[in-house]
């Protein structure tokens, strides 16, 4: 999908809400590569498993679009070439997309905001009792780059 995106193909990915931020999920990688990702928020699983390609091809079946589906599971995936059917699936996708939540990756630990003082050598979490006045927000990665070390009390 990333290769297709690089070629200029318009891609949207809708995932199950319970699994979107699991370690094995590719949601963050897709977003990092400029592919919009949303996830369902309703009760039950997002159990639709289909793709619409070029307004004419529908891929559907039990295939879970996972590594296990490709390498270990017994799955089926039908490729149906029919602009009429593709249009129906595309309409369903648009409805689901419209009510889905935008996936926003959690900030990586290095992007977290920490706090330093003008005179101290440690960086802290917000609210640490070591921070009395003039605490300065800074990214954790920048704090480390500037030579600050983590406070042993608040363990940022
Ligand atoms: Zn602290």
* Residue 129: predicted pLDDT: 83
* Residue 120: predicted pLDDT: 86
Count Cβ atoms within 10 A of the Cβ of residue 67 and give its class: 0-12 exposed, 13-18 middle, 19 or more buried.
Answer: exposed
* Residue 25: predicted pLDDT: 85
Q: Separation of 128 CA from ligand 1 center, angstroms?
A: 5
* Residue 74: predicted pLDDT: 95
Ligand 1 ion local residues (Cβ < 5 A): 124, 128, 130, 151, 153-154
- This prediction's pTM: 0.69
Q: Separation of 127 CA from ligand 1 center, angstroms?
A: 8
Q: Separation of 145 CA from ligand 1 center, angstroms?
A: 18
* Residue 100: predicted pLDDT: 93
* Domains in the chain with CATH codes: 2-102 (3.30.870.10), 109-150 (no CATH)
* Residue 83: predicted pLDDT: 98
Count Cβ atoms within 10 A of the Cβ of residue 152 and give its class: 0-12 exposed, 13-18 middle, 19 or more buried.
Answer: exposed
What tens-digit pLDDT sequence spans the chain (156 residues)? Answer: 899 999 999 999 999 988 887 777 889 889 988 999 999 988 888 889 999 999 999 999 999 888 888 899 999 999 999 999 999 999 999 999 999 999 988 777 677 889 998 888 999 988 888 887 678 889 888 899 999 999 999 988
Which residues participate in catalysis according to the annotation? 47, 49, 54
Residue (of 84, 72, 82, 154) closest to 112 by Cα position? 154
Q: Separation of 38 CA from ligand 1 center, angstroms?
A: 36
Instruction: Map residue 31 onto helix, strand or coil.
Output: helix
Instruction: Map residue 113 onto helix, strand or coil.
Output: strand
Asked if residues 156 and 150 have their Cβ atoms less than 8 Å apart, the reply is yes
Phi and psi dihedrals of 90, rounded to 5? -65, -35
Q: Separation of 50 CA from ligand 1 center, angstroms?
A: 49
The pair of structure tokens assigned to 141 is 């990665």
Q: Which residues contact 16 (CB under 8 A, 6 or more apart)?
A: 39, 40, 45, 46, 47
């Amino acid at each position: 999908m990333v290769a297709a995106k690089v070629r200029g193909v318009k891609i949207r990915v809708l995932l199950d809400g319970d699994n979107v931020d699991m370690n094995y999920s590719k949601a963050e990688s897709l977003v990092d590569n400029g592919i919009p990702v949303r996830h369902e928020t309703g009760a039950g699983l997002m159990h639709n498993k289909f793709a619409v390609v070029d307004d004419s091809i529908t891929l559907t079946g039990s295939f879970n679009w996972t590594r296990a589906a490709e390498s270990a599971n017994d799955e089926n995936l039908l490729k149906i070439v029919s602009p009429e059917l593709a249009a129906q699936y595309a309409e369903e996708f648009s409805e689901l997309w419209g009510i889905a939540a935008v996936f926003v990756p959690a900030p990586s630990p290095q992007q977290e905001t920490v706090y330093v003082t003008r005179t101290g050598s440690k960086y802290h979490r917000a609210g640490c009792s070591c921070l009395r006045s003039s605490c300065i927000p800074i990214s954790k990665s920048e704090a480390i780059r500037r030579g600050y070390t983590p406070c042993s009390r608040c363990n940022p």
